[in-house]
Amino acid sequence: MALQEELESQGNWLFRRRSLLPLIVLFVGIWAQIFTIHTSGILFSTVLPYWQGYECLCLFISLAGMVIRMYTVGHTPVSTSGRNTAKQVADSLNTTGIYSVVRHPLYLGNFLMWLGIALLTCNIGFTVAFVLGYWIYYERIMYAEEQFLRRKFGDVYLNWAERTPAFFPRFRQFTPSDLPFSWKKVVKKEKNGVFALFLLFSLFDFIVAWQITSVSANPGLCAMTLVSGIGYLVLKYIKKHTRLLNEPGR
């Protein structure tokens, strides 16, 4: 198999299994954090006196990724920028809004969300490994997606891709979105991610409080986890039993 076809095949295989990556990062990250605590890693020893402040910095990075995801999802039509894993889907090509400055904004958002969590481990080796692993993993997925879009949209895609960077935004060429922002779509699609984000931050915070007697659990994180968890359950019920979050074309 030629390298081009092999990369696309690998990308499609990884695309169907991309929901497994967070689980791998989570379990390895928990081990890395506990290991760092017991070996008094340099970064952990430095930030321990300012642990809750450091958590806020990590949370800011992750929330920046979440905002990117929400902005992206809120301005896209149905059957684009979804969470599908079975196959590539794109009824139309998004080229305005955030897609006018970067070709893969959802993966950029995911990266920042997980980078904030990786930094919570205070393990430099794990954080570097995460960045490299994410790059290798998603580079192939992005390649497969772009091959799909290139075949489907032809010159329209090529002209857009030529002027739009793949991962690092070029803000000076921003073009307003063709569609208004839809809070309904954001709430429907991103409620899982918000709850999961606060839950994971609370988990890593609890591990530190459990292992270090001088550190207490962050009450702010606990409160946000509780509120986002209740919100998730309420919105899940609304989505399943009502049509309040439905919006034509979104």
How far is residue 171's CA from residue 175's CA, in Å, rounded to a whole number?
Answer: 9
Q: Is 167:107 a contact under the CB 8 Å cutoff?
A: yes
Nearest C-alpha neighbor of 199 from the set 120, 134, 125: 120
Please, which contacts does 15-21 make with residues 24 or more away whose CB atoms are closer than 8 Å?
A: 15/85, 15/88, 15/141, 15/144, 15/145, 16/85, 16/86, 16/87, 17/85, 18/85, 18/137, 18/138, 18/141, 19/85, 21/134, 21/137
pTM: 0.89
pLDDT band at 12 (very low <50, low <70, confident <90, very high): confident
User: Tokens representing 123?
Assistant: 């393990």
How far is residue 227's CA from residue 134's CA, in Å, rounded to a whole number?
Answer: 30
Write down the pLDDT at residue 9: 80
Nearest C-alpha neighbor of 108 from the set 153, 62, 140, 77: 62
User: Tokens representing 220?
Assistant: 């702010």
94 pLDDT above the threshold of 60: yes
- Comparing 86-95, 130-139, 144-153, 196-205, which segment has the lowest mean pLDDT? 86-95
Write down the pLDDT at residue 40: 77
DSSP state of 175: B
User: Tokens representing 91?
Assistant: 């009824």
83 pLDDT above the threshold of 60: no
The CA angle 175-178-182, to the nearest 5 degrees, is 115
DSSP state of 100: G
209 pLDDT above the threshold of 70: yes
Q: Is 138 helix (H, G, I), strand (E, B) or coil?
A: helix
Write down the pLDDT at residue 1: 57
Write down the pLDDT at residue 86: 52
Phi, psi of 82 (to 5 degrees): -100, -175
User: Tokens representing 70?
Assistant: 């929400």
pLDDT band at 206 (very low <50, low <70, confident <90, very high): very high
Average pLDDT of the chain, as a whole number: 88
